[in-house]
A and B are shown apart, each in its own frame.
Chain A
Amino acid sequence: MSNSRGVDPTHRTFVSYIDKSREYYLARGYGNPYRWACFHEVPFVPLKPPLSQRVVTLITTAHEGVDAPSFRSAYSIPSEPAPTRLATDGLFWDRLATHTEDLDSFFPVHRLEEFVRDGRIGQLARRLHGVPTEYSQRKTIERDAPQVLRSCQEDGVEAALLVPL
């Protein structure tokens, strides 16, 4: 049975990618399901108000250039001028349903520039950042996250928007 929007009320409304990927790879003969990161403790720091005086950066899983295999470490790009495109090859996103031709649909740098002009945000940080999507949680935690943190600290970043594909 489905409602007016075609949603089956016997299932959760949003897609479970953990369930989908497990079943997909099990059907292909991979019987050792991926163990997704799961933590009970969650770090939290309040943003010191007001946002209109804070330095903000943007972090993506898209990569520079078009050659996905070369993208194996975190990188930084200037926020001024803003990039005009980033590559999404080799990443998991829904190629049947949509496309990534509009940068701001997954890396909203121009929308953030507008919010800076409007006075909603203090300023964009000097650099924006990319992190490689890794199956290895250890590589992200031990290699990439500390590198992004160091860059953010060097730039005086106080808040970050992170956008995965």
Chain B
Amino acid sequence: MCHQTVSLVARHLEAHGIATVILGSARDVVEHCGVARFVFTDFPLGNPCGKPYDVAMQRAIVGFALDLLESARAPRTTVQTPFVWTEDQAWRDNYMRIEPGGPSVSTS
């Protein structure tokens, strides 16, 4: 839901002359809404600017966003950063997992 909120705000700013870029991890929500520029990092929700305390990764991801601010020539420009959360991809299934007996994971 946070991704939708910032997408709506970004659209409003962009329509009034302020260039925007979103840094996020919920690609479908942002692209469904439609924004000018989007830097996608394929991480669990919570750290779209890089892993905690990994300054080099955070600088790289923010750097991608600054580059995109300058380079985008049309709306809906998405750049995916090269970072991988873990080799184990279980986090993708664990979020909002529906167990046989019903939903079991609290998300907030």
Q: Is the CB of B49 within 8 A of A105?
A: yes
Q: Is the CB of B75 within 8 A of A161?
A: no
Q: Is the CB of A140 within 8 A of B9?
A: yes
Number of B residues, CB within 8 Å of A: 79
How far is it, in angstroms, between the C-alpha of A134 and the C-alpha of B2 when the chains are bound?
8
Q: Is the CB of B75 within 8 A of A43?
A: yes
Q: Is the CB of B48 within 8 A of A152?
A: no
Place the interface of chain A in its size category.
35 or more
Residues of chain A within 8 A (CB-CB) of B70 are 47, 49-51
Q: Is the CB of A91 within 8 A of B12?
A: no
* Contact pattern, B 1-37, Cβ under 8 Å of A = 1, otherwise 0: 1111111111111111111111110111100111110
Please pick, from A13, A23, A105, A159, the residue contacting B98 in the complex, using a CB distance under 8 A. Answer: A23
How far is it, in angstroms, between the C-alpha of A141 and the C-alpha of B59 when the chains are bound?
31
Residues of chain B within 8 A (CB-CB) of A1 are none
Q: Is the CB of B17 within 8 A of A45?
A: yes
Please pick, from B3, B42, B43, B98, the residue contacting A164 in the complex, using a CB distance under 8 A. Answer: B3
Chain A stretch 125-151: residues in CB contact (< 8 A) with chain B:
131-135, 137, 140-141, 144-146, 148-149
Q: Is the CB of B29 within 8 A of A36?
A: yes
Q: Is the CB of A162 within 8 A of B52?
A: no
CB contact under 8 A between A149 and B13, given known A37-B32, A45-B19: yes
What is the CB-to-nearest-CB distance from B25 to chain A, in angstroms, rounded to a whole number? 8
